[in-house]
Structure 1
């Protein structure tokens, strides 16, 4: 039987060319689906004919209702080894195998630092002014000698901390499970949660979204921050209390925010975070790099071939 394989969530329409899909030709036919309906009924109709679906991170929600409406679906492949948009328990009960991929570990830290540097030196306004015929508009900020706070010192947080050290910043960190020994291994000082927010000139969020981390950056935590501090979030939108952040920015109680993640996504066109002058916002680009996409789609192909041969490679359920 020739498998029918769908590649969805390809917002930039690059999946066809970023990797070589020819290894799949012997077992199935790949269709690149470039429509993105939000409702379950339309998704069910559009995806009903496929046994295999490749998804990009959490762009489409595969809840129990959608999974039940796809009786031919046998394999769901996702970029990354976590996907909160897939109901893994429902997939298992329906006999649907879910497999993931590794990630290119440098993409998110590099994007984090692009945001920190661009916001600190006011690069967007300066570049826009230059393009429109203007010249210097103001004074940029500085990083050397300042304090970088890392909320979540995992693999990404550690790389962000290392960049901060190269810039001559003092680096502090906190998370629920972080120990002084683990922090010291990467030259970082463990502090309390309140001290992290009070001392940081730049505070960067690098936690996994969970019930414990949801809303962790709340009004109280934002109130602890310096009036000129910068909050950076390239992790997940719901970790930050969005209403509290908007209020702090509108009232001038926070120097600014550099954000790559939101709740919901895509961000609505009339959302305040699109228009606040102290916000630098990007459309969830942390994982959207050439090397990361090559790894995601390349390993989806590996997962598919292994599954077809009777082996679950990088299973999530």
Structure 2
């Protein structure tokens, strides 16, 4: 029997919801491209309920305990005296979400002598030291695609919020004003603007497909060029590098994983090469952007706006400058944890655990590292130079 340590964000300050705004959520039977949705043998939750907080428990607690496993669920993850730190040394499995990540550093992995499996309920595994996991032979998995569309929708929303300057307009209305000139002095149409997508994986492609009907001019850069027919369908222009891409766009959306190559990439030098008055929406990882460079660019007018829902660290401290910098439309890391998205990544997490306990192979698209090397999605997204066999596996 295993000890499973689950780190989730706290319940609402008003308590776990007794009722919800909607009675049901739409049933999604397949992802774009025919990829199958999570398919556990059973679930112990009602889709549309709050599953990502402690009381929701990803719908796993009753099932795991009925199978004889020990389950610890907590939101307390910071510091030497935290529940996470105290329970980690003898944990066999650690589960957390990108929105409230349990940071598994090399030091923590060294202390976790029993650790065999790390699961991200959602997408993005950079809160785990993947090199340390590889050295220990720990399997790292995530529920790929479970909330990709959730993030893509949030991205499109934030693009429109920035370009139309929605935050200021809503604030004027909420405060009882009717200052139309003030409300529209920074408001533009998205139509006709040049939109660049940095990393055209599942989320990036979903953003392309949702922005195309707005009549924008689309371009992108990625380590792997998209098929010609896809480029032609969306009238996409490919750029070899992010440096080339940003010189010719009005809006940049960021969907790359956090690696040593992308950390701090949006710095003073790169931002200076963008057209004055450009916008950036970053729902990927906060550390891809140089925190203070973003603030300087907004204050100088080089950037007209910055939005996203990812910060460094997470949760962000109360005095983080992105909370108060001008012309921002930041949200706390919520894009991928809509109630709809939670139902899918909770089901996917259970599927991973069912396969793990049965000794069955995990889906390649869920795998980040396994057996000491990058596998599946990890080979595509995190490995520096994916091998031919890794690419074949990722495309299966």
Say whether the fold is shared (TM-score over 0.5): yes
Residue 44 of structure 1 corresponds to: 85
- Confirm whether residue 287 of structure 1 aligns to residue 336 of structure 2: yes
In structure 1, runs of 5+ residues without a counterpart are none
The 3-state SS of whatever aligns with 2:281 is strand
- Confirm whether residue 17 of structure 1 aligns to residue 56 of structure 2: yes
- Confirm whether residue 138 of structure 1 aligns to residue 179 of structure 2: no
- What is the count of residue pairs matched by the alignment? 316
Residue 165 of structure 2 corresponds to: 122
**Structure 1 residues 88 and 147, CA gap change in structure 2 (3 angstroms):** closer
Contact 1:303 1:312 in 2 (8 A): no
**Structure 1 residues 80 and 252, CA gap change in structure 2 (3 angstroms):** same
**Structure 1 residues 171 and 132, CA gap change in structure 2 (3 angstroms):** same
Contact 2:89 2:112 in 1 (8 A): yes
Deviations 1:135-157 (A, max 9, x none): 24421221112211212222211
Following superposition, the deviation at residue 115 of structure 1 comes to: 0.8
**Structure 1 residues 261 and 164, CA gap change in structure 2 (3 angstroms):** same
Deviations 1:206-261 (A, max 9, x none): 22222222333332321122222211111122222333222211122221111222
- Confirm whether residue 112 of structure 1 aligns to residue 139 of structure 2: no
Alignment of 1:156-171 (within 5 A): 156-171=203-218
**Structure 1 residues 44 and 298, CA gap change in structure 2 (3 angstroms):** same
**Structure 1 residues 179 and 304, CA gap change in structure 2 (3 angstroms):** closer
Rounded to whole Å, the distance in 1 between the matches of 2:173 and 2:322 is 24
Residue 6 of structure 1 corresponds to: 5
Following superposition, the deviation at residue 82 of structure 1 comes to: 4.4
Which residue of 41, 59, 81 corresponds with 2:101? 59
Following superposition, the deviation at residue 298 of structure 1 comes to: 1.8
Rounded to whole Å, the distance in 2 between the matches of 1:178 and 1:312 is 29
Residue 86 of structure 1 corresponds to: 128
Contact 2:147 2:337 in 1 (8 A): no
Residue 174 of structure 1 corresponds to: 221
Residue 142 of structure 2 corresponds to: 100
In structure 2, runs of 5+ residues without a counterpart are 13-50, 371-396
Following superposition, the deviation at residue 114 of structure 1 comes to: 1.1
Following superposition, the deviation at residue 86 of structure 1 comes to: 1.9
Rounded to whole Å, the distance in 2 between the matches of 1:232 and 1:242 is 14
**Structure 1 residues 154 and 303, CA gap change in structure 2 (3 angstroms):** closer
**Structure 1 residues 247 and 89, CA gap change in structure 2 (3 angstroms):** closer
Residue 302 of structure 2 corresponds to: 253
Q: How high is the TM-score relative to the length of structure 2?
A: 0.71
Rounded to whole Å, the distance in 1 between the matches of 2:82 and 2:11 is 24
Contact 1:158 1:186 in 2 (8 A): no
Residue 26 of structure 1 corresponds to: 67
Q: How high is the TM-score relative to the length of structure 1?
A: 0.86
Deviations 1:83-139 (A, max 9, x none): 122234544555644333232320111010111111222222222222222224421
The 3-state SS of whatever aligns with 1:118 is helix
Rounded to whole Å, the distance in 1 between the matches of 2:205 and 2:111 is 42
Which residue of 268, 284, 300 corresponds with 2:349? 300
Contact 1:180 1:190 in 2 (8 A): no
Rounded to whole Å, the distance in 1 between the matches of 2:292 and 2:151 is 25
Rounded to whole Å, the distance in 1 between the matches of 2:86 and 2:172 is 48
Contact 2:79 2:85 in 1 (8 A): no
